Each structure stands twice: as structure tokens, then as C-alpha cells.
């Protein structure tokens, strides 16, 4: 058994990010209730093992668009404002489903909507952190999304841009020891596997060097707003803050359980702390392509 994978079993505080594309049927854009149900069951199971769990979920804009039967013309007129309004509609719908499903397993949830200011401004960060701390004490599962209704580029505090980055900041904020990004791809490849049949899968990443960042620019992912480059950016934030990070395929929600059981699924990015601990065993430069 790979020791680096085995140590994932001991993680105490886990942030799991799921993208819009993993929550809906591709053909219709409607919610995939089976996948949502499995996701919630997996998370409740982690709670039952005594772990703290945070879910970072996208899907507000996508569900809002469906609900208001948005026309392309409406979107063309005021693209940002319409998206904000759709997020306000969709976020409520999303939470309603999550609350219902978590409730079936006797689990309480809380909605936490963040802006970039929540993590960059020291006062807001302190306030946000104390909310998370109390929620953990109350055994509640925080469900986080960006506060899209007020968080746009035009406003002075800016936005995260995508939920991969948001999830990495949340990991740092709550001192998580593991971040799992459920993506639309199995993990990191040396090139885009949909275009290059010789692309190799990367199981473990040590130090995130320039070569890896350049490679990620080529190996794009279609999901949500975050391609592979945003996942590398997220990995840099999370691993520097002391969390290991995994990219796994959201098509198979059961891979959360596999990851937590130390199975070799997805790409594992070692936290800076673990890179140091492992450096005697595997030099970081060599660990980059394994």
C-alpha cells in the first residue's frame, strides 16, 4: 500500500468541491438526483467516522437558469446581472435539495456564501472562521458557494472566479487537512487525453513547478469555469496551507470513499509539509511525475 495514499485515511477535516457539471444531466441540465443522493450519503458517512466535512457546491447559476427558463436574448442583454439573478434563484433550490437529502440521514446543514473579501480582509476572515468553528462544534455540515448575487468583477472586492479557488481558500480558512476537487476528468494528465492518446496520467504531485503549470495549461477541463490551470492554482493555495489535495472524477461519486480508503484514484498533490516529510523517501522533483 502506498504510504502517501494510506495517510489519507487519517484525515480529520475534509473539504469537498463539486462542480455544476457533476450535479446535472448533460442532456437536459436538470439535477441528477441519484448522483446528489450518493454524494450526500458519502459525506454523511464521513461524518459518521467522526470527520469534519465541508461541501463547496456550484450549481446555483445553472439551476437558476433552468428555473426561470432563461432565453439567450435575456442573457445577451445583461449577462452578469442575469447570471447574478439566476444564482439567487438557483442557490435556494440547491439548498432545498441538499437539506432534504442530508436530513434523510439525520444531518444538519448550513449555507455559507462567501465573497473574496471574506478571505482577504482580516476582519471578515476572522468572522467567517468563527462561524465555521461553531458549525463544526455543532456537528453541522457547511455548504459553501460564492455569493454570486453580490460578487462580480465590477465590484471593488472582486470575485474568486471559480469554485476551485474558492474551495482552496475555504480549506485554508478552516485548516482542513484534505481538499477533494470532484472534476469532469480523472485527474491530471501530461497532456489533454481527449486530444493526445499518449497523454500519461499523473498519480502524485510533489512540488508544483513551472513545467507542471505549463502542462496544465494544455490539459484543459471543460467543467464549470475552472479548467486544469485553476486546479493547479487551487493546489498551490491548499498545499501551502497544509492540506493534501486530490483531483478525482465527479462522474463516479464513490471515488470519495475510495480516496478516503487510501485507494490510488485521482491525482494526489502533497501538502508542503508532506513533501518535506517524504523528501527522504522521494525527491520532490522526482515526485512530480509519478
Binding site for ligand GLU (CB under 6 A): 19-20, 58-62, 87, 145-146, 148, 162-163, 224-226
Smallest distance from ligand GLU to CB 17, Å: 9
Strands (E) in the chain, as ranges, are 13-18, 52-57, 109-114, 141-146, 178-183, 188-189, 201-202, 204-205, 244-249, 267-269
* Smallest separation (angstroms) from ligand GLU to the CB of 216: 16
Please report how close the Cβ of residue 215 comes to ligand GLU at its closest, in angstroms.
Answer: 22
Nearer to ligand GLU, 121 or 225 (CB): 225
CA distance 93 to 62: 11
Torsion sign over Cα 47, 53, 58, 60: positive
Write the CB contacts of 75 (distance below 8 Å, at least 6 apart in sequence).
82, 83
Q: Are 123 and 88 in contact (CB under 8 A)?
A: no
Quote the Cα angle for 6-10-11, to 5°. Answer: 110
**How far is the C-alpha of 23 from the C-alpha of 35, rounded, in Å?**
7
Q: Are 8 and 259 in contact (CB under 8 A)?
A: yes
Tell me the CA distances in angstroms from 234 to 77, 112, 227, 246, 247, one per residue in order.
32, 19, 11, 11, 10
Q: Give the position of cell 458549525.
A: 135
Q: Identify whether the C-beta of residue 187 lies closer than 8 Å to the C-beta of residue 202.
A: yes
Cβ proximity to ligand GLU, 206 vs 226, nearer residue = 226
* Cβ nearer to ligand GLU, comparing 187 with 224: 224
Nearer to ligand GLU (CB atom), residue 28 or residue 198: 28
3-class DSSP assignment, residue 58: coil
CA–CA distance from 208 to each of 77, 216, 226, 290 (Å)?
41, 11, 18, 13
For ligand GLU, the nearest residue by Cβ is 224
- Judged by CB, which is closer to ligand GLU: 146, or 272? 146
- Specify the residue, 8 or 170, whose C-beta has the smaller distance to ligand GLU: 170
Cβ distance to ligand GLU smaller for residue 141 or 278:
141
Amino acid at each position: 500500500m502506498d504510504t502517501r495514499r494510506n495517510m489519507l485515511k487519517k484525515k480529520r477535516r475534509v473539504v469537498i468541491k463539486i462542480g455544476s457539471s457533476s450535479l446535472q444531466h448533460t442532456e437536459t441540465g436538470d439535477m441528477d438526483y441519484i448522483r446528489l443522493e450518493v454524494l450526500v450519503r458519502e459525506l454523511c458517512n464521513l461524518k459518521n467516522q467522526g470527520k469534519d466535512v465541508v461541501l463547496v457546491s456550484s450549481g446555483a447559476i445553472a439551476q437558476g437558469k433552468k428555473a426561470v427558463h432563461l432565453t439567450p436574448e435575456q442573457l445577451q442583454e445583461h449577462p452578469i446581472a442575469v447570471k447574478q439573478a439566476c444564482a439567487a434563484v438557483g442557490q435556494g433550490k440547491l439548498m432545498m435539495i441538499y437539506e432534504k437529502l442530508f436530513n434523510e440521514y439525520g444531518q444538519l446543514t448550513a449555507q455559507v456564501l462567501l465573497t473574496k473579501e471574506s478571505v482577504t480582509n482580516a476582519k471578515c476572515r476572522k468572522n467567517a472562521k468563527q462561524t465555521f468553528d461553531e458549525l463544526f462544534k455543532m456537528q453541522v455540515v457547511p455548504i459553501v458557494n460564492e455569493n454570486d448575487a453580490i460578487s462580480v468583477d465590477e465590484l471593488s472586492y472582486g470575485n474568486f472566479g471559480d469554485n476551485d479557488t474558492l474551495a482552496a481558500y475555504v480549506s485554508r480558512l478552516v485548516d482542513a487537512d484534505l481538499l477533494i476537487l470532484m472534476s469532469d476528468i480523472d485527474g491530471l494528465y501530461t497532456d489533454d487525453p481527449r486530444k493526445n492518446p499518449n497523454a500519461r496520467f499523473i498519480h502524485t504531485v510533489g512540488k508544483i513547478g513551472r513545467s507542471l503549470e505549463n502542462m496544465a495549461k494544455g490539459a484543459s477541463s471543460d467543467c464549470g469555469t475552472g479548467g486544469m490551470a485553476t486546479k493547479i492554482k487551487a493546489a498551490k493555495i491548499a498545499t501551502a496551507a497544509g492540506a493534501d489535495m486530490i483531483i478525482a472524477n465527479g462522474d463516479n461519486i464513490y471515488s470519495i470513499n475510495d480516496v478516503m480508503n487510501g485507494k490510488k484514484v485521482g491525482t494526489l498533490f502533497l501538502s508542503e509539509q508532506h513533501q518535506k516529510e517524504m523528501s527522504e523517501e522521494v525527491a520532490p522533483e522526482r515526485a512530480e511525475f509519478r
